[in-house]
Amino acid sequence: MPRSPENIRILIVDDHRMVREGLTAMLRGTKVEILGEAETVEEALNEISTKAPEAILLDVRLQGESGLSACRVITEKHPEVAVVFLTVYEDEQYVFEALRAGARGYMLKRASADDIVHVLERVIAGETMVDPSLAGKIARRASHVAPSGLWPGAELGITQRESQVLHAMVDGLNNKAVAEQLVISEDTVKTHVRSIFRKLGVADRSQAVAMALREGLFK
């Protein structure tokens, strides 16, 4: 199907009908032409095959499926299609995972119609776009990565996210404050803390902090 130079032809992949309807209404009157909608990966692949969109707006989580997994499948089968995540999740970890999965863009659902159009134009032109409100978080996270490319504690088996949690613990933050700083749930923080204790072979926060300082993990 030939492309009108004025239009950007897309699919919306989201498992919430109200979200799909809201996006359709928001983008009405713009240069975005919505070719169809899908709730699942299978539906999305069928729509791509029959309608040949240039881009897809995709949520990070779909009902019973991972949007990240969906992105991998879509980009493997249709590398010509630009996948842009449009989601409520502000955790920078999702941004990294989305880009690793092959996405060309990551936006938050509070974005305006003009923002969405701009990002779609840029990703179709070959650029990678991330919501500006997440740039600061990503920059701060990158600043904590050691020059070798590894993060503090990596040699001890600590994941990058656990390293962030441990750094916050060293700074004296409790679980609630850590959750607010990293924009994750308090339950998720508790899970990371338990994993940190296990990997460091310690029994409590004070021992974990002491080991982190003794090993010189954070300056």
What's the chain's average pLDDT?
86
Q: Can you tell me the mean pLDDT for 185-208?
A: 90
Residue given tokens 């500006």 in the structure block: 132
Is the pLDDT assigned to residue 1 strictly greater than 60? no
User: In this structure, are 74 and 119 located in the same domain?
Assistant: yes
Three-state secondary structure of 8-24: EEEEEECCCHHHHHHHH
What are 103-114's pLDDT values in tens digits?
999 999 899 999
User: In this structure, are 153 and 122 located in the same domain?
Assistant: no
The pLDDT, as a whole number, for residue 192 is 92
**What is the band of 183 on the pLDDT scale with cuts at 50, 70, 90?**
confident
What are 138-175's pLDDT values in tens digits?
655 555 555 455 688 877 778 888 899 999 998 889 99
Has residue 148 been placed in a domain? yes
Q: Can you tell me the mean pLDDT for 187-216?
A: 88
The pLDDT, as a whole number, for residue 99 is 85
* Whether pTM exceeds 0.75: no
The pLDDT, as a whole number, for residue 3 is 46
User: In this structure, are 26 and 113 located in the same domain?
Assistant: yes
For 96-140, strand residue ranges (E) read 105-108, 129-130
Residue 195 sits in a domain whose CATH number is 1.10.10.10
User: In this structure, are 113 and 161 located in the same domain?
Assistant: no
With contact defined as beta carbons under 8 Å apart, do 138 and 90 qualify? Answer: no
Has residue 59 been placed in a domain? yes
Which amino acid, 100?
R
Residues 190, 150: Cα–Cα separation, whole Å: 23
User: In this structure, are 156 and 204 located in the same domain?
Assistant: yes
Has residue 44 been placed in a domain? yes
User: In this structure, are 187 and 93 located in the same domain?
Assistant: no
Has residue 201 been placed in a domain? yes
Residues 176, 64: Cα–Cα separation, whole Å: 29
Of 83, 101, 133, the domain-final residue? 133
Residue 62 sits in a domain whose CATH number is 3.40.50.2300
The least confident of 37-51, 133-147, 183-197, 202-216 is: 133-147
Is the pLDDT assigned to residue 212 strictly greater than 70? yes
Has residue 2 been placed in a domain? no
Going 99 to 132 to 217 to 169, the CA torsion angle's sign is: negative
For 49-131, strand residue ranges (E) read 55-58, 61-62, 65-66, 82-87, 105-108, 129-130
Of 72, 103, 133, the domain-final residue? 133
**43: its two tokens:** 């539906």
Has residue 120 been placed in a domain? yes
DSSP-based three-state secondary structure for 35: strand
Has residue 3 been placed in a domain? no
What are 60-104's pLDDT values in tens digits?
888 777 888 899 999 999 999 999 999 988 877 778 788 888 999
What is the count of structural domains for the chain? 2
User: In this structure, are 69 and 120 located in the same domain?
Assistant: yes
User: In this structure, are 108 and 196 located in the same domain?
Assistant: no
Look up the domain containing 94 and give its range: 8-133
Distance in Å from the first CA to the final CA of the chain: 57
Has residue 110 been placed in a domain? yes
